[in-house]
Structures are given as C-alpha cells and as structure tokens.
Amino acid sequence: MTVTRGFAGRSPAGERDPRLPPGQYDAGDSWPVLSAEVTPDLTAAEWTFRVDGLVAEARTWSWEEAHTLPRSGYEGDIHCVTSWSKFGVRFGGVSLDTFLDLARPHASATHAVAYAHTGYTTNLPLSDLTGGRAWIAWEFGDGPLDPAHGGPARLVVPHLYFWKSVKWIAGLRVLDHDEPGFWERNGYHARGNPWDEERYAGD
C-alpha cells in the first residue's frame, strides 16, 4: 500500500458508506452522463427491442407492445466504472426475464450481446441477465428516462458497472459463447462486477 501524503479522504475512517464498492465515491444528486457517441434522435414510436440468436422464437417488441408486459422495476444503487456511484435510484419498465421467457433461449445459450440503436455493444453472461437482476427501463424516478441517460429505453443491470446497462437498447443476441462488446474490446473487463473491482481486463 502506497499511502498518499496528506490524503485522508472525504469522510473520516469508520464513517464510510458500506453501500460504496471499493474505489467508488458517492455522486450525490448528480448523475454524470457518459456515452461515447452522439445522443440519437430516437422517439418512443421508433424504438424497438429484439431478442434473437439461440432462442426458440426470435421476437421484436414495439414501444406499445413492450408496455403491455407486466411492470417491474429496480430501486437501489448504481455504479459507474469511472468511480461514481449513485444511491437509491428508481428505474421502471419490464424485467428482462419476461422478454427472455417469451423468446425461450436454447439450453446451449450461455451469453448475450446487448446492443443499442446507435450500434454500441456489450457482452453479458445470461446468468447476469436473468433471475430478476436486469430490466428494460423507460422510467427514472417518476418521469420518463431522459435521452442523454438512454431514453426512450435502456438496459439496467445494476449489479454490474453501468457500461453494461446499454442506453437506447435495441436488442439482445443470445449466444453460446462470450463475445466482447465495445468497451470490452477497448481494454475493459469482460464482466465488470464493482464489488470485485473488475474495471479493466486483467483485474
């Protein structure tokens, strides 16, 4: 351990928030926007969500069709690889389990690539996308999800670093192998568990 002279941190030892994974700080009321591309002009009417690949039935949902599915949501914390965490956020939409149950992945399916209407991609094990741990969300707090934050709808996988929670989500391609997405090909970790500090490949 290399101690930095004169550095004590923002709050005294013993008062650090146990909700913070290692190396993270509390962003408080702010919600930084991090996306590498231009925010797309994408209306709710144009938005679609598709599940295909190794599934019994490839399907595409329109905005209206997705809204007929049972509502579900997430309330809790989110963590960005750039070191901020945000506590007690609320996302509303539909559980990803609902979409996957309708598409029925094959027994051989292990992973998925999630992709955006902008072409952004990220890879996830199916086990991180099922079991009530991932959502397609179009509400934040009590309002619609802002376009800069991925509206009309984004993927939310809050137990992983937030680059996995694809903004402007367009679909999931279900695969029988892991296939790195955009950041994963640019040096970031394949899984991105904030509690194990899996920021970069090799962590």
* 110 forms part of the interface with another protein (CB under 8 A): no
Burial class from Cβ neighbours inside 10 Å (0-12, 13-18, 19+) for residue 68 reads exposed
* 7 forms part of the interface with another protein (CB under 8 A): yes
For the bound state, the minimum distance from the C-beta of residue 102 to another protein, rounded and expressed in Å, comes to: 21
Window contacting another protein (CB under 8 A); options: 62-70, 102-110, 119-127, 137-145 = 119-127
Nearer to another protein, 164 or 173 (CB): 173
Token pair for 106? 């094959």
Q: Tell me the helices (H) and strands (E) count for the chain, helix number first.
A: 3, 11
* 179 forms part of the interface with another protein (CB under 8 A): yes
SS3 content of the chain, % helix, strand, coil (to 5): 15, 30, 55
Give CA–CA dist 75/189, Å, rounded: 25
Residue with tokens 């004169």: 6
* 146 forms part of the interface with another protein (CB under 8 A): no
* 1 forms part of the interface with another protein (CB under 8 A): yes
CB 116 within 8 A of CB 155: no
C-beta atoms surrounding 56 within 10 Å = 10
In single-letter form, the type of residue at position 149 comes to: H
DSSP letter at 67 equals H
Cα 3–chain centre separation: 34
* 18 forms part of the interface with another protein (CB under 8 A): no
Binds another protein (CB under 8 A): choice among 71, 87, 108, 200: 200
Binds another protein (CB under 8 A): choice among 46, 65, 75, 203: 203
* 155 forms part of the interface with another protein (CB under 8 A): no
Binds another protein (CB under 8 A): choice among 51, 55, 78, 80: 80
Residue with tokens 């750039």: 82
* 68 forms part of the interface with another protein (CB under 8 A): no
Token pair for 188? 């970031």
Binds another protein (CB under 8 A): choice among 62, 118, 130, 193: 118
* 185 forms part of the interface with another protein (CB under 8 A): yes
**Sites of contact with another protein (CB under 8 A):** 1-10, 13, 16, 22-23, 25, 32-40, 80, 82-84, 113, 115-121, 148, 170-171, 173, 175, 177, 179, 182-183, 185-187, 199-203
